[in-house]
A and B are shown apart, each in its own frame.
Chain A
Amino acid sequence: MKADLAADRESGKDAVFGGDPLTLYGVALASRLLAGTAQYPSPAILSRAIAAAKVEIVTVSLRRESGGNQAGARFWALIRDLGVRVLPNTAGCRGVKEAVTTAQMAREIFDTAWIKLEVIGEEDTLQPDVFGLVEAAAILTRDGFQVFPYTTEDLVAAEKLLGVGCEVLMPWGSPIGSGRGLNNPYALRSLRAHFPQVPLIIDAGIGAPSHAAAAMEMGFDAVLSNTAIAKAGDPVAMARAFALAVEAGRTGYRADLMQARDMAAPSTPVIGRAFNDLANDRARA
């Protein structure tokens, strides 16, 4: 990592983004922050937040609309004006058939093969049903989709998702909307270590910029945040804060973090310290 960062710097590439793109299904991206589009105080604030954070991928969904309302059309026009890529989700789907049908509908309307696949298995935690997730992912990849599965930190589920053709995984940090950050750092580190070449995007539960920075310092490739930005007192400023945190965390990871230790280790040189002999006298006394 350190060598990569130094090489990028020497070659004149930007150390953070230009020389370190995030590649998802063959698409190279400069930004490692993905943003949800729900719960913002207004469409204008959503637009400004996305622009402030230089986000390149936003998540969107499909919902029922009553005739003549046109809310969906207005929202879709706003997203198109932002010039970002969309990652449609199957949010709220509880079964394989429901998720697959929703994905197929999303592909037609958003004109993309990308799908953030959610198959929810438990109501209190909105935990993914990893069994249904693998089944739905297999169906969708065979049908030409590029699947971004919303999963847990489970290594076996991850292996099976990769086995059915997923090239990106989106493990949860903690339950959707909880803002608890990284609930299980041990398991997330294991996941990162087991799949060093697979793009891993922390999705769900990120509540503060520091959570995003921590995820990036662990070596995750990107972070998706919705509620923490949208429900902030100032979503535009929070979007910017998240972008900075993701950038800081990524740069820190690439710069090779020091190992933590239990005992103190003086950072200022000990040799040449004034009054050193007095300290020695005290020790002898």
Chain B
Amino acid sequence: MHIHVNGKALDVAAATLAALLAELDYEDAAVATALNQMFVRRRDRGDTPLKEGDAVEILTPRQGG
């Protein structure tokens, strides 16, 4: 399935957002997620299916002003 993760086109096997994080080695990282510009809570990732063309954002803490 072709999706976009953080703006990059990827071909992934994961069927859910939780599975995607595992596939991309984010499983244990402190990240927050959004699917098609909508926030997805940590506890909802397992119930959030992915479909062709989805845009996923995976964000982590960073320096800010």
* Proximity string of chain A (88-126) to chain B, C-beta cutoff 8 Å, 1 when within and 0 when not: 110100000110011011101110000000000000000
Q: Once bound together, how far apart are the Cα atoms of A136 and B59, in whole Å? A: 20
Spell out A's residues near B (CB within 8 Å).
Answer: 36-40, 46, 59-68, 70-73, 75-76, 79, 88-89, 91, 97-98, 101-102, 104-106, 108-110, 176-177, 226-227
Are A63 and B65 touching (Cβ within 8 A)?
A: no
- The answer to whether A70 touches B65, judged by C-beta atoms less than 8 angstroms apart, is no
Which one of B7, B29, B33 contacts A73 once the chains associate, using CB atoms below 8 Å? Answer: B29
What are 27 A-B residue pairs whose CB atoms fall within 8 Å in the complex?
A37-B65, A38-B63, A38-B64, A40-B63, A46-B63, A59-B65, A60-B61, A60-B63, A61-B62, A62-B59, A63-B59, A64-B57, A64-B60, A65-B62, A67-B24, A70-B29, A72-B30, A72-B60, A72-B62, A75-B61, A75-B63, A76-B30, A91-B64, A101-B34, A105-B33, A105-B39, A226-B65
Q: How far is the CB of A14 from chain B (nearest CB, A)?
A: 29
Residues of B with C-beta under 8 A to A226 = 65
Do B64 and A36 have beta carbons less than 8 Å apart?
yes
Q: A37-B65, A61-B63 are in contact. List 7 more A-B contacts (CB 8 A).
A: A36-B64, A38-B64, A62-B60, A63-B60, A65-B6, A71-B60, A91-B65
B37 touches A101 (CB 8 A): yes
Instruction: Please give, as numbers and ranges, the residues of chain A lying within 8 Å of B58 by CB-CB distance.
Output: 64-65
Q: How far is the CB of B1 from chain A (nearest CB, A)?
A: 17
Does the CB pair A73–B30 fall under 8 Å? Answer: yes
Output the least CB separation between A280 and chain B (Å): 62
**How many angstroms from the CA of A46 to the CA of B65 in the assembled complex?**
13
Chain A proximity mask over B43-65: 1 for CB below 8 Å, otherwise 0: 00000000000000111111111
